[in-house]
Each structure stands twice: as structure tokens, then as C-alpha cells.
Structure 1
Amino acid sequence: MGILVDVKKYLSLEEFPKNIQDYLSVAITDHAYLPKTEDITSDWVAYIAAPAFKLIREKAGHDLDAFASIGTGSGIDVLTGVELLGVKRVGFTDLLKSVVDTAAENIKKNLKNADSVKLEFGAGDLLRPLENSERRYDVIYENLPNVPLTDNIKIDDERNSGHYLEKREEVIPEFVHEQVLDLHYLALRQARDYLSEKGAVYSTLGGRVPLSALIRLGELAEFSSEIFTYSWKVQAEPEDVISGYAAQEKAGLGPFRFYRASDLQKAFASISVKESGKNAFEIEKSLESLKLTAAEAYKAFLQGEVIGHTVAVLKSSKK
């Protein structure tokens, strides 16, 4: 299938984009995450990554050199990095070759000047497909799934971008596994060999666990981490995702944190992107009495309530 994206609207730009086409024509494979372009508040790139990218560029004071995305899906996140960060070299990966090849075509055809950006890409595990590239990136972005696939589902059976294959050879700290943050930890561990000297990993994390757990995640991966931005979004694919977290709770993990979307909207009403990171723990505290476990959230969803969750962009830099 294919979608058409109005970039000015999608990325909340005051002017038409400089580096990518005004309207993106994007092919989506059966196994790639389907962007929520008609409901931007549910879309990870438009609603979470783009504001963070704008702040990264503002703080840097200049265009950045290189950007990498782990698990790119359609390639829209890479195009967003090209537009908002001004990068001239991009790396991107995904698990399946068909997804990566389609993303590469999407990126090439939606650049205003196809020769202005160098592409480095490959299919496989996290950052490893980029091991033969130039390797040093100023920004490594990841929005990886948290919930593992059930035993009777294969990764290539359907659109399973919200899940991952749980079986790994690496040792994962018990604390990380209890918080269902396995892939984020593994991505950070790999990222040490792919960051530029002053580069950072920006992990977009659904805040279904305490913020302190996210900081601990970075520490266990031997990074210095901070909450860069803090916001919220409506839970996409609520039937699938919330029930998946409820199953993890039943298995003894968690409990996890969800909220009624109306409560989140009130809590974040006057919070700017720039101020959100440093105020994140205070905001989280204000929401303490309103949190729902995954089981409670799933019950509320079945009763017709709109469920959301907080979102943190975790910035991790080498110590």
C-alpha cells in the first residue's frame, strides 16, 4: 500500500520543507509499521521524534553531519532527520530486507536533491547492518518495540512491528527485562561503536515504566542518560498493545503504567517541549494517582475509554 504525506502539516513546519518533497509518496510493506498520518497525536515520528529533532538542531546551532535510524520501517523517520537535522549522510536498518529496500526507495524518491544525501543501509539486527559503513553518527534514533511475540506467531506472518523476537544470545540485566526494555538496552550497547565523538542516542520510549527505570537503563548500558523531552500520546493499536502488556503483567513483570487520555491532556496542557525534559519527574509525580495498570487500562479500553501513555525521549551519551 502507499500513503501521501503533507510534510508541512505532518512536521508542523512554518514553511515548505527545504530538503524533502512537499508531499511524500511513501510505500508501506506488509511488515512495516503503518504511520498514523491522519492522526498525528498517535504518530511516533510527527508527534514525538520531530519535536525532539527540532530541539536537537536548535541546541546544536548548526546542521548535523550524520543520522542513523534503527528499525526505520517506511523511512519517514530518516526523511524527517534529513529535513529537521540537515544531515547529509544517513544510515538505517530494519529486520527484513523487503522493509529496508522499500524504505531506501522511499527516501531516494522523496529527497529534493537525491545526490545531496549519502545512504547507508542494510537488513538485520539493530545497528549491525551498518558495520561496513562510515559508522560514526551524530544522532542515533530508535523507536523499538517492547513486547515480545507470542510463541505461535512468526515475525514475517503479519504486521508485527509492535513486537519483537524475544530469544537473544546476549545477557540482559534482570532489571531491564523486568521493565520490558530489552531491545532498547541492546541497541544502546551496540551504539557505542557507531556514535561520533559528541554523538548521542535518542531512544523514544513509551513511559509505561517509571522515568527512574529509563535512567537506570542508560546506566546499565554504560551511558550517561537524561530525559530530553517528555510528552504523551494516545495508545496506537490499543487492543494489541495494551493486552500484550497485560499478558506481561500476568507473567509477573511490571506493573506497567497507562492513563486515560483526558488526564494526560490536562497534565501536559501548558508544558512546552523545551521545558518538558527538566520537568519530567515533577510531571510524572503529578500523574501518580491517575495511573492504570495494563490490566486496568485494558478493561477501561474495552469499556470505550481512550487510553494513552507518557513518552520520554531518552538522550544517552558516552561517559
Structure 2
Amino acid sequence: KPEHTKEQLSISVVDNAYLPQTKDENISEDWLAFVSVPAFKKIEKKKPGQVKSFLSVGTGSGLDVLAGAEVFGAKRLAFTDLQNKVVKAAEKNVKNNLLNSDKVEVNGYTGDLFAPLRKDHPRFDVIYENLPNVPLDENKEVEDSRNSGHYLEKREERIPKEVHAAMLDLHYLAIQQAGEFLEDNGIILSLIGGRVPLDTITSLGQKADVDSKILSYKWKVQSEPEDVIGGYAKQEENGYGPFIFYRAEDLKKAFEGISFEESGEKAHNIEKSLEDKKLTATEAFKLWKAGESIGHTVVVLKSS
């Protein structure tokens, strides 16, 4: 039974927010249930009761903040998103679903990455980000429907070439900028949908001058495959990548018998075992259109 949040959550999602995958059979497509919550639990086990403040960068519906409240028992919760109406809805979702909301400080901020926090400069024990990888089509606005699953590509910051080619711009920037908002022993948890070699992901920390390591490694079925695999295939045509997808059955086999606990240490071995099963986004998209189930790996990167 949950200790800090209601047993049954009532969540309202505005048009622009990324949708949770809530159908039972889709649980393995849902980032939060399948990847983030186990990662939070792993941290809580290592530092029981020590995470008193939690920030989600790019929250969407606020569910990740509720997960932070539940797993860590954090009494100071904050989140950001690009659009005010998404933040307002998330704020409502968080406050309405906490058991003792009067005892918890909840702050929503509207804006890009850490920009809206620069005025008050709060610090957090855990900063969590699951930011989008796929740039927005040039003729679209982030405000259009659910484009929050994409991002605006024209950044002013300097981004290393290899990071940009792997479409990991926002993860890199979040890791690079988070330091000034971390408590002394604070950590950043980045949820990154693989699709590029592990070494490319682990080098993000190095490039951003922080210490990063793989906390856990999982796989999931690609949700919204038409949009996402199609989006990656299009980016391959634009000279990015190549990206890495797999048949879901190959992933299932490769990860068989490996617990979430040990998956981080075994990540490179698992990746090696899948070497000859790799598909580019273009190949994966063709197979998906022919009825194959396609998946990808997921990394939880812990930086401090």
C-alpha cells in the first residue's frame, strides 16, 4: 500500500503532455513503471530516507514527481516543463494525489531546462530527467498537440559533435547544467532510450565534466512506433546516427535472467551479445511495418 500517495491516482493530461502508457499489456512500454521506479528504489535502498528533495526536468503529467514522492518520501518536490498549461496540470496532479499535501512543498516552473530555476536557485538531492531525443520537425511548434515528446533543435549552447550526431543534446545539457542545483551529495538520474552505443551514452558525463555511470540497463518495446521509429529513420536520412533497434524477441532473450540490480554492471556484456542482432532505424521501421515487434535498450545514467 502506498505511503505518500493515494492508492488510486486520478491524473488529468493536457493535450501537449506526453501520455503515460496505462493499458496493462503496455506496462513494458511505460518508462515510469518499468524503468524509473525500479531505479528510484535502487537509490532509496542505498541511501534510505536521505532523499528529501526531488526535481523532475520536463515532467509532462507529473507522474514521475509522484513516483519520487512515493519511493523517496521527499518533502520538497519540484518540476519543470516548457509550457505553462502542462506545468499547471502537473501541479494539480501532484497536489491532488499526495496523501498529506499540506506537509509537502510543491513547486512547478515553466521554461527550458534549468532556466526557470535560476532566480531562486533551489538545490535537490535527486534531479531526474527523461528528456526527448528526437528534434521537432522544422515546420512544427512545441505547442502543437503532443510535440512535448520532441524538442526544439536550435540551441544556443555548444554541443559536442558526437553528442549531437547521437541526438543526445538535451541529456548532455541537463547533465552539464544540473550541478549548480544539486545538494552536496546530490545525483542526476538520466533516463536515456539507448538507440546508440553504450559508450556514447557513458561519455556524456566525461564531456560534461561530471562523473557518470550506468545504474541500470533494460529493454522495452518501442511505444508509439510509427512516430518514434519513423522519426529516427528520418533522422538517419538527415545524416544522424545510425541508430540501434532490435527485434523485441532478441532483446527478451539477451536480458533473460538478469535482474534490475545487476543489469548496470552487465550492460556492456549484454550489448556485446546483441552485436549481430542490431537494426538501423530504417531497417527497424520496415520490419515494424511488416508486423514485427521492435524494441530498444534503456539506460539509467547516474551522474554526480
- Give TM-score scaled by structure 1 length: 0.93
Residue 283 of structure 2 aligns with which residue?
Answer: 296
2:61 alignment counterpart: 74
Cα deviations across residues 290-316 of structure 1 (Å, max 9, x unaligned)? 110000000000000111000000001
1:94-243 equivalence runs, <5 A: 94-133=81-120, 135-243=122-230
Q: For residues 130 and 43 of structure 1, what CA distance do their matches in structure 2 show?
A: 28
Secondary structure of the 2:241 match is: coil
1:26 is aligned to 11
| Residues 61-70 or 192-201, more deviating | 61-70
Deviates more, 1:217-226 or 1:126-135: 126-135
- 2:249 counterpart of 1:271: no
Matched letter for residue 75 of structure 2: K
Partner of 2:235: 248
Answer yes or no: is the 8 Å Cα contact 1:52–1:229 preserved in 2.
yes
Match of 1:35 among 13, 20, 45: 20
The residue that corresponds to 2:247 in the other structure is 260
Q: Deviations over 1:234-263 (max 9, x none)?
A: 111100111111111111111100001111
| Structure 2, gaps ≥5 residues long | none
Aligned residues: 302
Letter in 1 for 2:292: E
Contact 2:91 2:107 survives alignment (8 Å): no
Give the share of equivalent positions with the same residue, in percent. 55
Aligned residues of 1:64 and 1:138 also touching (Cα < 8 A): yes
Q: 1:160-198 CA distances to partner (integer Å, 9 max, x unpaired)?
A: 122111011111111110111001111112201101111
Distance in 2, Cα, partners of 1:160 & 1:223: 30
- What secondary structure, in the 3-state scheme, does the structure 2 residue paired with 1:223 have? coil
Maintained 8 Å contact 1:162/1:241: no
Equivalents in 2 of 1:55, 1:189: separation in Å?
23
Tell me if the contact between 1:121 and 1:130 (Cα under 8 Å) persists in the aligned partners.
no
3-state SS of 2:302 partner = strand
Amino acid at match of 1:94: D
SS in 1 for 2:219: strand
Q: Secondary structure at the match of 2:220?
A: strand
Instruction: Name the one with the larger strand percent.
Output: 1
Gaps of 5+ in 1: 1-15
Partner of 2:294: 307
In the superposition, the TM-score normalised over structure 2's length comes to 0.97
Report the residue type matching 1:181 in the other structure.
L
